[in-house]
Structure 1
Amino acid sequence: MLKTRVLTVDDEGHILELLKYNLESSGYEVVQAETGEEALEIIEKEKIDLVLLDLMLPGIDGLEVLKRIRTNETYKRLPIIMLTAKSEEIDTVLGLEMGADDYISKPFGVHELSARIKAVFRRTEALSKNAGSTMPEEDILKLEDLMINRTTHEITVRGKIMELPLKEFELLYLLAKNRGRVFDREYLLEKIWGYDYYGETRTVDVHIRNLRVKIEEDDKNPQHIKTVRGVGYKYA
């Protein structure tokens, strides 16, 4: 049976070895790269199932690597978890906006790393299963000027079709499917990300902001995704 292959990209040797030891102990096969250029070459030539990508790399940095992966039709759906330092908050937000599936801040614990990898795989596997099936009627959610297609992973906004990153799509579907219901940030983190997110509710706010830019006529005065002060969000 083939093992799941994880590409770890970091210019610090001790980080690569730490990741290799823990991932192999969990049953993964590990491929290593120390630069962004090397990582892109590996992805083009080999089968990779997930990438752990450091933001700060010599030469091509992590954000540029992420951008090139997401704009390549061959492997644009490759799951990517960003490795970041606490001081890289702005770059972390950019990474999420550019389509990273998740991020984890250094230093991180073994259990946290394992939980985040498993959560990303659960989401991508569920999406793959839906993609190859016949589309039932309940997989299309129709609202006033918005249609959400769970099978093709596309939305139609005022006649315009667009594709959303996985977590944005799941977040929008959950809110729209339960229109009028208020969800707090902690619940959304648990439901969409699949585990305790250690109080980093800013992640939800970033994705809500991205969704508003894409589906609202005026994202500064949203009419669909409403903020309920002191609580969370709802689809009006």
Structure 2
Amino acid sequence: MTTILVVDDEFLIADLLATELEDQGYRVLQAHHGKKALEILAHERPALIVTDFMMPLMNGLEMAQAIKSQPQYRDLPIILLSGAQGAIARRYPELFAAVYDKPIELWRLSQAIRALIGPARLAGEGG
């Protein structure tokens, strides 16, 4: 099953994204800050990460830098959603596959995800 990690400290946004992605057939893991996301990566290998920028403990930029510093995650696509820091994130195209300003229409995010990793695959469908 194709797994996506959603990282956002706003629980309502994280739940909304998770519900939308699960409805499309993806398995969704959630973290509410960058440090928790790194803990999850120690045990799971998502196909893609969707993250907020402004979060406690470790923001989205710091998290992306920590992830991309590890050779096994250099090709892991990260989509950043930001209410105010999108311009900062856009200076780091090597870290983010896409940067969108909040609020984002869910169909646009879904389209970007499918473009990066394809449609959700069920367990046993190979990959």
Q: TM-score range by the shorter chain?
A: 0.7 to 0.9
**Equivalent runs, 1:122-137 vs 2, <5 Å:** none
Match of 2:105 among 109, 132, 155: 109
Equivalence for 1:90: 87
Does 1:119 find its partner at 2:115? yes
1:92 CA displacement? 2.4
SS in structure 2 opposite 1:107? coil
CA-CA distance at 1:39 after TM superposition: 0.1
RMSD: 1.3
The structure whose RCO (Cα within 8 Å, separation 6+) is larger is: 2
Q: Deviations over 1:33-58 (max 9, x none)?
A: 00110001111211211100111110
8 Å contact kept, 1:66–1:95: no
Unaligned segments of structure 1, at least 5 residues: 123-236
> Runs ≥4 in structure 1, deviation > 2 angstroms?
none
Task: Give the Cα separation in 1 of the matches to 2:114 and 2:74.
Answer: 19
Does the residue aligned with 2:101 lie in a helix, a strand or coil?
strand
User: Which of the two has greater helix per residue?
Assistant: 1
Q: After superposition, give the CA deviation of every residue in 1:193-233 in whole Å (9 maximum; x if it has no partner).
A: xxxxxxxxxxxxxxxxxxxxxxxxxxxxxxxxxxxxxxxxx
Whole-angstrom distance in 1 between the partners of 2:10 and 2:114: 24
Is it true that 1:99 corresponds to 2:95 in the alignment? yes
Larger Rg: 1
Q: Count the aligned residue pairs.
A: 118
Structure 2: gaps (5+ residues): 119-127
Alignment of 1:133-212 (within 5 A): none
What TM-score, normalized by structure 1, do the two folds share? 0.48
Structure 2 Cα separation of the partners of residues 93 and 62 of structure 1 = 12
Which residue identity is paired with 1:50?
A: L
The equivalent residue for 2:9 is 11
Corresponding residue of 1:73: 71
1:75 and 1:89, CA in 2 relative to 1: closer, same or farther beyond 3 A? Answer: closer
What displacement does 1:99 show?
Answer: 2.2
Q: Which amino acid aligns with 1:10?
A: D
Whole-Å separation in 1 of the counterparts to 2:65 and 2:21: 25
Counting aligned pairs with the same residue, the percent is 36
SS of equivalent to 2:28: strand
Q: Secondary structure at the match of 2:58?
A: coil
- In 1, Cα distance between equivalents of 2:115 and 2:29: 20
Aligned to 1:43: 41
Amino acid at match of 2:103: P
CA offset digits 1:4-24 (Å, max 9, x no partner): 100000000000110011001
Q: Check conservation: 2:4, 2:26, Cα contact below 8 A.
A: yes
Where 2:16 maps in the other structure, the secondary structure is helix
